[in-house]
């Protein structure tokens, strides 16, 4: 019996090779794996070149790609013709393949990686051997994961693998190769776009390869009768999927959904900002010179809804902010960093889940939404917007203070479910309405939530106002200025209503629906 071993990750390979050698396998290997087994392990092992009679060439790019190797892997043992052909050409069968691949994902994840570096780390021989062995799994066992060395070695030494074992290992090998190929595909597609200046292209590909690895199991999904788990793209998870839990109970499906909404909201602002989120919508949001002040004003936006919410800060959480949070029950807090003393304060809350998240951009290339029988795909809602380019539609232009609040409210509305209405004042959320079947109900809800704080606030609407009644209701609530996309067939009526109430209104020309 012969085993062919060629691994980049050499974890456990010496111990496993020793085990299978004791079980009667003759070891064949390549390059670095051969050195590890012979020099570190002291094991008798042949170079592939000895078996094929051909040297490695092109700096090791060609070593296993040879009929002697693939004949030994692909020959059907139940085919007299295949076996006779092997004998005619002096080829021995190979019964076990142990391979893992060059670190392509790890390579492209490094800062400053070049295209040449990436191409050099695209494995050719490894995937080919894995596919050949897995195709012929009834006769050839294939092992790709060092975590499987223990039980595979034990079984090979004690009677051999079952058909189910072999089939499972083959499926794992094909999955490993397909994941690897998907990473290469995605990288080259993005690189091609960058090289040709297509980053802002609205064109979506004709096909998408989506590969996700399970990061963690969850207690359940949205409800206890649903299963749930967290998956992420191959490599080191980023964004919410890569957040590090520093304290607290196990995260749930809903915790992660809300924490992601909170982080996306807070991190979209340049100034020190805190978002308090409940059921995927911000009930509190504020920007201030320091993070503790931002928290206090965010909390005051809706002290009732804040209970049991998720808090996200786009700056290091300070002692002052942690102390301000103490009286309120929250499910999750998330920030890039924590002052050591602030962390100690927060950790006194036994059940509070404390997350740290890297501040690198984490917007996905595509936004994916499942529907029955398919997936809707769109580019992410990330565009550069300059409030100085907004068009004043009314007779009165916004004051500087109003304009600052309008810019804040407009960004906030982008993160609130449609039909989204935001009341804001002093760079803080005063009230909001979300997810309603018509916009006037969202204005009502914002007014009810804000109460007296509505007076002197500005209003942002994620889409145009179809009727003037929205403007009239906003004016009654005490709104002084409005930002909206514009573009309704009744814009003239809406503008006239704003002028009649003495409101300032600007059009952005951009819509930010979030369903």
Q: Which domain holds residue 418?
A: 387-507
Strand ordering across the sheet containing 244-247: 244-247, 353-356, 330-335, 309-313, 272-278, 281-288
pLDDT (0 to 100) of residue 365: 65
pLDDT band (50, 70, 90) for residue 202: low
Handedness of CA 354, 356, 361, 366 (dihedral sign): negative
DSSP string over 451-505: GGGGTT-EEEESS--SSTHHHHHHHHHT--EEEE----TTHHHHHHHHHHHT-EE
41, pLDDT greater than 80: yes
Catalytic residue among 135, 155, 175, 444: 135
Are 504 and 392 in contact, with CB atoms under 8 Å apart? yes
pLDDT band (50, 70, 90) for residue 331: very high
Q: Are residues 50 and 125 located together in one domain of the fold?
A: yes
CATH number for the domain that contains residue 479: 3.40.140.20
Determine whether 279 is an active site residue: yes
Q: Are residues 326 and 394 located together in one domain of the fold?
A: no
pLDDT over 70, % of the chain: 95
CATH number for the domain that contains residue 173: 3.40.50.1380
Describe the crossing of helices 80-89 and 67-74 by its angle, rounded to 10 degrees: 160
d(CA 240, CA 353): 13
Is residue 296 a part of any domain in this protein?
yes
110, pLDDT greater than 50: yes
Last residue of a domain, one of 311, 333, 356: 356
Q: Which of 46-60, 334-348, 438-452, 465-479 has the lowest mean pLDDT?
A: 46-60
- Domain total for the chain? 3
Q: Are residues 25 and 155 located together in one domain of the fold?
A: yes
199, pLDDT greater than 60: no
Is residue 264 a part of any domain in this protein?
yes
In what helix (H) or strand (E) does residue 288 lie, and over which residues does it extend?
strand 281-288
Q: Are residues 403 and 323 located together in one domain of the fold?
A: no
Q: What angle do CA 41, 44, 48 make, to 5 degrees?
A: 105
Within 8 A by CB and 6+ apart from 185, the residues are 209
Within 8 A by CB and 6+ apart from 446, the residues are 421, 422, 423, 430, 431, 432, 433, 454, 459, 477
pLDDT (0 to 100) of residue 333: 98
Q: Which residue's entry shows tokens 């909001």?
A: 432
Q: Which residue's entry shows tokens 């189910």?
A: 164
Is residue 284 a part of any domain in this protein?
yes
Q: What is the mean pLDDT of residues 75-95?
A: 87
- Residue range 482-506, pLDDT digits in tens: 999 999 999 999 999 999 999 999 9
Secondary structure percentages of the chain, helix, strand, coil, to 5: 40, 20, 40
Q: Which of 457, 423, 420, 454 is nearest to 438 (CA)?
A: 420
Tell me which DSSP letter residue 418 carries: S
- Residue range 67-84, pLDDT digits in tens: 888 888 888 888 888 889
- Pick left, alpha or beta for residue 138 (phi over 0 → left; psi -120 to 50 → alpha; otherwise beta): alpha
d(CA 260, CA 254): 10
pLDDT band (50, 70, 90) for residue 194: very low
Within 8 A by CB and 6+ apart from 282, the residues are 261, 262, 265, 275, 276, 412, 415, 416, 429, 432
Catalytic residue among 2, 10, 155, 279: 279
pLDDT over 90, % of the chain: 61
Strand ordering across the sheet containing 26-29: 45-47, 26-29, 2-7, 96-100, 141-143
Q: Are residues 32 and 170 located together in one domain of the fold?
A: yes
- The whole-chain average pLDDT of the chain stands at 89
Mean pLDDT is highest, among 40-54, 102-116, 405-419, for 405-419
Are 302 and 449 in contact, with CB atoms under 8 Å apart? yes
pLDDT (0 to 100) of residue 392: 97
Q: Which of 245-254, 319-328, 355-364 has the lowest mean pLDDT?
A: 355-364
Is residue 444 a part of any domain in this protein?
yes
Is residue 227 a part of any domain in this protein?
no
Q: Is 167 helix (H, G, I), strand (E, B) or coil?
A: helix
d(CA 253, CA 237): 17
pLDDT (0 to 100) of residue 363: 53
pLDDT (0 to 100) of residue 68: 80
d(CA 103, CA 183): 11
- Residue range 140-169, pLDDT digits in tens: 999 999 999 999 999 998 888 899 999 999
pLDDT (0 to 100) of residue 34: 86
Mean pLDDT is highest, among 286-295, 358-367, 435-444, for 286-295
Q: Which residue's entry shows tokens 């931002």?
A: 294
pLDDT (0 to 100) of residue 359: 73
pLDDT (0 to 100) of residue 46: 87
What's the Cα-to-Cα distance from 355 to each of 21, 237, 240, 346, 513, rounded to whole Å? 47, 14, 9, 11, 28
Q: Are residues 9 and 111 located together in one domain of the fold?
A: yes
pLDDT (0 to 100) of residue 402: 98
Handedness of CA 353, 356, 359, 362 (dihedral sign): negative
Q: Are residues 14 and 136 located together in one domain of the fold?
A: yes
pLDDT (0 to 100) of residue 277: 97
pTM of the model: 0.79
- Residue range 19-28, pLDDT digits in tens: 889 888 989 8
pLDDT band (50, 70, 90) for residue 386: very high
Handedness of CA 294, 298, 303, 307 (dihedral sign): negative
Per the model's pLDDT, the better-predicted residue between 406 and 40 turns out to be 406
Per the model's pLDDT, the better-predicted residue between 289 and 108 turns out to be 289
Q: Which of 428, 459, 248, 257 is nearest to 355 (CA)?
A: 248
Q: Is 23 helix (H, G, I), strand (E, B) or coil?
A: coil
Q: What is the mean pLDDT of residues 164-181?
A: 91
Structure tokens of 512? 């930010």
d(CA 235, CA 216): 14
Is residue 60 a part of any domain in this protein?
yes
Q: Is 75 helix (H, G, I), strand (E, B) or coil?
A: coil
pLDDT band (50, 70, 90) for residue 367: confident
Last residue of a domain, one of 307, 339, 356: 356
Q: Are residues 155 and 274 located together in one domain of the fold?
A: no
pLDDT band (50, 70, 90) for residue 349: very high
Determine whether 89 is an active site residue: no
Q: Are residues 347 and 392 located together in one domain of the fold?
A: no
Q: Is 354 helix (H, G, I), strand (E, B) or coil?
A: strand
pLDDT (0 to 100) of residue 38: 85
CA atoms within 13 A on the CB side of 390: 27
Is residue 49 a part of any domain in this protein?
yes
d(CA 281, CA 450): 15
Per the model's pLDDT, the better-predicted residue between 213 and 5 turns out to be 5
pLDDT (0 to 100) of residue 364: 55
Is residue 216 a part of any domain in this protein?
no
Q: Are residues 308 and 456 located together in one domain of the fold?
A: no
Tell me which DSSP letter residue 243 carries: P
pLDDT (0 to 100) of residue 398: 98
Describe the crossing of helices 67-74 and 125-135 by its angle, rounded to 10 degrees: 30
Q: Are residues 294 and 425 located together in one domain of the fold?
A: no
pLDDT (0 to 100) of residue 197: 42
284, pLDDT greater than 70: yes
Last residue of a domain, one of 308, 338, 356: 356
pLDDT (0 to 100) of residue 361: 55
Q: Are residues 99 and 166 located together in one domain of the fold?
A: yes
445, pLDDT greater than 50: yes
pLDDT band (50, 70, 90) for residue 461: very high
pLDDT band (50, 70, 90) for residue 190: low
d(CA 96, CA 330): 54
């Amino acid at each position: 019996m012969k085993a062919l071993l060629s691994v980049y990750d050499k974890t456990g390979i010496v111990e496993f090779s020793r085990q299978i050698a004791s079980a009667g396998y003759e070891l064949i290997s390549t390059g670095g794996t051969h050195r590890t087994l012979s020099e570190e392990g002291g094991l008798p092992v042949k170079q592939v070149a000895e078996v094929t009679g051909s040297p490695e060439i092109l700096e090791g790019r060609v070593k296993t790609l040879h009929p002697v190797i693939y004949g030994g892997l692909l020959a059907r043992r139940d085919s007299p013709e295949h076996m006779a052909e092997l004998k005619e050409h002096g080829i021995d069968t190979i019964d076990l393949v142990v391979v893992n691949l060059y670190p392509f994902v790890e390579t492209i994840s490094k800062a400053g990686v070049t295209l040449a570096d990436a191409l050099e780390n695209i494995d050719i021989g490894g995937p080919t051997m894995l596919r050949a062995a897995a195709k012929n799994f009834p006769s050839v066992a294939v092992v790709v994961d060092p975590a499987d060395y223990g039980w595979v070695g034990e079984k090979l030494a004690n009677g051999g693998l079952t058909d189910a074992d072999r089939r499972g290992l083959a499926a794992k090998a094909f999955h490993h190769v397909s994941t690897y190929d998907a990473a290469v595909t995605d990288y080259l597609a993005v690189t091609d776009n960058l090289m040709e200046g297509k980053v802002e292209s609205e064109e979506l590909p004709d096909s998408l390869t989506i590969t996700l690895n399970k990061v963690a199991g969850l207690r359940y999904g949205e409800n206890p009768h649903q299963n749930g788990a967290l998956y992420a793209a191959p490599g080191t998870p980023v964004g919410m999927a890569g957040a590090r839990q520093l304290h607290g109970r196990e995260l749930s499906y809903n915790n992660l959904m809300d924490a992601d909404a909170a982080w996306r909201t807070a991190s979209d602002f340049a100034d020190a900002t805190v978002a308090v989120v409940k059921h995927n919508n911000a009930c509190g949001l504020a920007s201030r010179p320091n993070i503790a002040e931002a928290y206090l004003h965010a909390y005051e936006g809706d002290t009732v809804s804040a209970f049991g919410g998720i808090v996200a800060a786009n700056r290091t959480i300070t002692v002052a902010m942690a102390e301000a949070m103490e009286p309120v029950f929250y499910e999750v807090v998330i920030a890039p960093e924590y002052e050591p003393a602030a962390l100690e304060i927060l950790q006194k809350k036994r059940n509070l889940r404390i997350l740290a998240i890297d501040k690198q951009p984490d917007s996905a290339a595509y936004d994916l939404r499942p529907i029955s029988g398919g997936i809707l795909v769109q580019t992410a809602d990330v565009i550069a917007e300059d409030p100085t380019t907004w068009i004043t539609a009314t007779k009165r232009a916004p004051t500087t203070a109003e304009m600052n609040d309008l810019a804040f409210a407009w960004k906030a509305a982008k993160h609130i479910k449609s039909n989204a209405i935001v009341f804001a004042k002093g760079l803080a959320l005063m009230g909001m309405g979300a997810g309603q079947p018509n916009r006037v109900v969202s204005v009502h809800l914002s007014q009810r939530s804000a109460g007296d704080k509505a007076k002197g606030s500005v209003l942002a609407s994620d889409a145009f106002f179809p009727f003037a009644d929205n403007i009239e209701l906003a004016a009654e609530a005490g709104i002084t200025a409005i930002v909206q996309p514009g573009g309704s067939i009744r814009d003239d009526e809406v503008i006239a209503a704003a002028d009649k109430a003495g409101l300032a209104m600007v059009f952005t020309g951009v819509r930010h629906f979030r369903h």
